[in-house]
Amino acid sequence: GGGHTDQGNRYCSTLQVKEVWWAYLLVLAGSAMLCAGLTTAQYWILRVGTTSNLESRRHTLVSDLGSSVVVALCIALPLSSLIHPLAGVREKLFVLLAVLLILLCAEVFGNSYRMLPSWHIGAEISGAFIIWSTDMGIALVKSATVNLILTILWIVIIANAFKLLNHSIRITTGIISITCLTIFLITSTNNQIAISTLAIGLVGCISGIYIKPTRTRGCLLSNSSVGVIGVFVAFLAIQIDESVSREESITNALTPILVCSFILFNLSLVVIYALLSRGQQMSPSIGGFSQQLLSLGLSSPAVRGWSYSIATVVGIVTYMIYRLSPSIGLLLSGTLIAIYFIGSIMYIIAFYTTTNLKDNSTTLRQTQS
């Protein structure tokens, strides 16, 4: 559980909850159109200002357009407070959006001047500290120090886990959208109107980069934007609060982890790969879930389909875990964790099997030569 940003909105009547659904749709559509406009404007500005060859220009455009998502998010969400009951948390909302913009500037600066990874980690830690200091961080235990450490660890881990997804087959935007839709479903049925609005606003902004009237294909979020959006998603996940009709349970405390479990599973595979291949000249980022599917011979569309399907199933199961009774939720949580554990074991077995086959093939070629 995180800070309670919805205290003024949580206990509205059933009639009021039904009346805000039209506003969710308006926020979704408005965010998408705003982001589409910003990405289109940035596309043409960059295209006019670029003097390098066409291939370099396309690469520059694809890697830079992701910042429009963050900017659109920071414009759309304050505007949504004019049509949505967000006024009670407007001050904290502005603090959050200011953190996102500062982080975006720090990430872009760090990438432009090739700063060390510690620069980006330091920026994320600073953002996490500001979020915690405004009472919007993790509030799991009574110790403020422990809650601060947990908040920093959570935000830094999720932000970098999203970065590891951001590679050539471009599944990051889809995974972000599915994760935010899961958060939206949980918080909207739990009457957390402010968090629901933030989540659906990000979904709209992500959608906007695909409806821009340009002919660029496969627009990617840059690592800078992915890190910032990862911080935002991590923030949303820890804001999921207890339902007023439910008692405190361990499954509720695990909800943020379950919501982001697919991203964390991919991160665990990368860590396992890095540990198993230590001493070899290999990039740890190729050890993720989708990259391993590619190594098995699947096409990029098939890998995207599998990744989105699994993330969607995880989202549905997470929603069921949250809404069902604590005993059933705990059972489903254990089942989901067990599946991830079995998947990790199979990954290790596949790694060693593939490595042995490669070594045997190399030895055979050397013998024949």
Burial class (CB in 10 A: 0-12, 13-18, 19+), 331: middle
Q: Which residues of 93-132 are buried (b: 16+ CB within 10 A; e: fewer)?
A: beebbebbeebbebbbebbeeeeeeebbeebbbebbbbbb
CB 198 within 8 A of CB 77: yes
- Express each pLDDT in 217-263 by its tens digit: 445 677 888 999 999 999 999 998 865 445 555 667 788 999 999 99
Which parts of the chain have pLDDT scores under 70? 1-19, 46-65, 84-91, 168, 212-220, 242-251, 279-287, 354-369
Dist CA 210 CA 229 (whole Å)? 17
Dist CA 233 CA 238 (whole Å)? 9
Q: Is 218 left (phi over 0), alpha (psi -120 to 50) or beta?
A: left
pLDDT for 102 equals: 93
CB 3 within 8 A of CB 133: no
Tell me the CB-side half-sphere exposure of residue 35, using CA atoms within 13 A.
31
- pTM score: 0.86
Structure tokens at 317: 């199961």
User: What residues have CB less than 8 Å from 220, skipping those under 6 apart?
Assistant: 62, 63, 65, 66, 166, 170, 172, 173
pLDDT for 228 equals: 93
pLDDT for 8 equals: 45
CB 155 within 8 A of CB 234: yes
pLDDT for 363 equals: 52
CB 223 within 8 A of CB 114: no
pLDDT for 58 equals: 46
